[in-house]
């Protein structure tokens, strides 16, 4: 067996063998460690590769076993695919394609459950009437909350690409607020008449928009309409057996299912 080789991949150290690194001679790693391509060294003399260090563990395991082993809840397929493309490991690229087809089939049957809550809250703020002249004011605002659960991680990603928070003058995708791949909680307010723009930021009040329509969601009715559009276009339909019709009409619970 060859002497161990330590790699520094994006700051994370891995130790392996030359035979493992050259197990696929046509790959970039095969070329690097067979002398066909130059390598860089870090300050400790380890071979340095400026790529994602965390994902490299799956690359290295594939080099060792020629088998793709991923956790059941693995959520970085896109990143792993890009890394496989970079290292030019064709068998791994093909294994990832097969895995994505498998995941796609598993995603076809899905359930979507949305629980909604709404309350009225009084907001207090100051209004600048003239230089150095301010007055206190208050107004009622509608506060919305939606708990969204779906067995389809891909659908929640799709939803995240359509719904955006407006805060501090910027739009940001709700994808960054995913609690986990299957759960999402949204909290937002309707536009408050007379409330200065800077008060939304100061009081940490987010508004919700749907893109690319650039439409603000100021009521549950609009929220439900937009979510239904997205869900129905993705193959979902309303589950007529649950919840109770009165809950659905009162905008308390929405449940949709998808069979393919």
Name the one residue in this structure whose structure tokens are 């206190």: 136
Say yes or no: 67 and 158 in one domain. no
pLDDT by 10-residue block (mean), the chain, 260 residues? 85 95 94 89 94 96 94 84 94 91 74 93 80 80 94 88 91 83 92 86 92 90 92 86 54 82
120 and 238 inside one domain: yes
* Same domain, residue pair 83 and 137: no
113 to 88, 163, 175, 181, 236: CA distances (angstroms): 41, 17, 17, 14, 11
Same domain, 118 and 41: no
Looking up residue 64, the CATH number of its domain turns out to be 3.30.710.10
With CA atoms as reference, report the closest residue to 247 among 218, 214, 220, 209: 220
- Under 8 Å between Cβ of 99 and 69: no
Whole-number pLDDT of residue 246: 52
**Distance separating alpha carbons of residues 233 and 230, to the nearest angstrom:** 5
Question: Could you tell me if 164 and 76 lie in one domain?
Answer: no
- The total number of structural domains in the chain stands at 2
**Cβ 239 vs Cβ 222: under 8 Å:** no
Please tell me the predicted confidence (pLDDT) of residue 106.
65
In a domain, 105, yes or no: no
Question: Which residue has tokens 């800077």?
Answer: 198
Residue 247: what pLDDT?
Answer: 52
Where among 88, 123, 147 does a domain terminate?
A: 88
The per-residue pLDDT for 213 is: 82
Residues near 253 by beta carbon (within 8 Å), at least 6 away in sequence: 113, 114, 115, 116, 243, 247
* Interacting residues of 222 by C-beta distance below 8 A, sequence separation 6+: 215
* Contact yes or no for 77/96 (Cβ under 8 A): yes
Give the pLDDT confidence score for residue 244 in this predicted structure. Answer: 55
pLDDT at 48: 95
Domain that holds residue 43: 4-88
Residues 235 and 116 in one domain: yes
97: in domain: no
């Amino acid at each position: 067996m060859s002497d161990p080789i330590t790699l520094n991949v994006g700051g994370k150290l891995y130790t392996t063998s030359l035979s493992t690194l050259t197990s696929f001679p046509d790959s970039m790693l095969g070329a690097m460690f067979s002398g066909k391509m130059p390598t860089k060294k870090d300050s400790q003399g380890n071979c340095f590769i400026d790529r994602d260090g965390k994902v490299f563990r799956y690359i290295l395991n594939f080099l060792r076993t020629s088998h793709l082993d991923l956790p059941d809840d693995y959520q970085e397929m896109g990143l792993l695919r890009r890394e496989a493309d970079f290292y030019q490991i064709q068998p791994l690229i093909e294994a990832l394609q097969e895995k994505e087809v498998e995941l796609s089939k598993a995603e076809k049957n899905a359930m979507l459950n949305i629980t909604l809550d709404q309350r009225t809250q009084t907001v207090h703020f100051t209004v600048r009437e003239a230089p150095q002249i301010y007055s206190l004011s208050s107004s009622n605002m509608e506060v919305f909350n939606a708990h969204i659960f779906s067995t389809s991680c891909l659908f929640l990603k799709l939803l995240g690409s359509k719904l955006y928070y407006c805060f501090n003058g910027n739009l940001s995708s709700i994808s960054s607020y995913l609690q986990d791949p299957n759960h999402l909680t949204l909290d937002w307010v309707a536009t408050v008449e007379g409330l200065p723009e800077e008060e939304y930021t100061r009081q940490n009040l987010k508004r919700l928009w749907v893109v690319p329509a650039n439409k603000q969601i100021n009521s549950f009715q609009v929220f439900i309409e937009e979510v239904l559009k997205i869900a129905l276009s993705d193959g979902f339909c309303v589950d007529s057996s649950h919840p109770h019709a009165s809950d659905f009409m009162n905008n308390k619970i929405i449940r949709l299912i998808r069979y393919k």
